[in-house]
Amino acid sequence: MANFADVAKQFVEFYYNQFDADRKQLAPLYRDNSMLTFESASVAGAAGIVEKLSSLPFEKVKHAVSTLDAQPSGDHGGILILVTGALLVDEEQRPMNYSQTFQLMPDGAGSYFIYNDVFKLVFG
């Protein structure tokens, strides 16, 4: 059995590297039954999610992960991940605290996809 904590860590590294480099390329991580809730706005499906992420009002973005915690979730090999960290967008000098909860599910082909994704800015 794959170690869920290592999966979580690898996933988070990959996700934010890809997000910061080109968030339009995140589609393979979502599926049609995936759900993203970004600042209370919910979008379902990989295409809609990537459209939502691409339309966010910033060009440059850098995530710095401060904490990562993960728990196994459910009988089907799911993983629940809570990330907190700092976010810098465009020319903004003040980093913003954010919190993001992911629920990963195995895709049946030895990998995982994002089933649920809840993003929240927690401090101005």
Partner 1 sequence: MKGDSVIITASSEDIAQIQKLDKFSFAGSVLSIQACDPPSPQAKESGEKEPTVSQAAQEAKDRFRAILAARYDANLKLLNLSALALDAGLRQMGVFDGSTTTSKVFPAMMVVCDSLFKSPQEKRDAIVSVSLADNELADVSAVTTLAQTFPDLKNLDLSGNKFTDIKNLNAWRWKFRHLENLVLTGNPIESQPTLKDELLRRYPNLQIVNGVTLRSPEEIAAAKAIAEATQSPIPIAGPDFRDVSQVGENFIRQFLPLYDNDRSALLGTFYDSQSVYSLSLNLTSPRSHEHSVPIAPWTSYIKYSRNLTKLTHLGARMSRQHKGSQAIQQVWSALPPSRHPELESHADKYLIECHPIPGLTDPSGQSARGVDGLIITMHGEFEDQIETATEKSLRSFSRTFILGPGAPGGPPIRVVSDMLTLRAWAPLALPQISSISPETQSTNDPEQQKREAITMQLVEKTGMTPYYANLCLTETGWDIEQAFIAFTANKDKLPADAFMPGVAR
List residues binding partner 1 (CB under 8 A): 3, 5, 8-9, 35, 37, 39-42, 56-58, 65-76, 78, 80, 82, 84-86, 89-90, 92, 94-97, 99, 101, 103, 105, 115-116, 118, 120-124
Residue 118 φ then ψ, to 5° = -120, 115
CB of 87 to partner 1, least distance (A): 8
Pick between residue 41 and residue 109 the one whose CB is nearest to partner 1.
Answer: 41
Pick between residue 27 and residue 44 the one whose CB is nearest to partner 1.
Answer: 44
| Residue pair 97/66 in contact by the 8 Å Cβ criterion | no
CB of 13 to partner 1, least distance (A): 9
Using CA atoms, how far residue 41 sits from 25, 52, 71, in Å, is: 21, 9, 25
What torsion, rounded to 10 degrees, do the Cα atoms 123, 83, 35, 42 define?
0
Write the single-letter amino acid at 79: I
Q: Strand runs (DSSP E) across the chain, as ranges?
A: 30-38, 41-44, 61-73, 78-89, 96-106, 112-121
CB of 28 to partner 1, least distance (A): 21
Pick between residue 27 and residue 35 the one whose CB is nearest to partner 1.
Answer: 35
CB of 10 to partner 1, least distance (A): 11
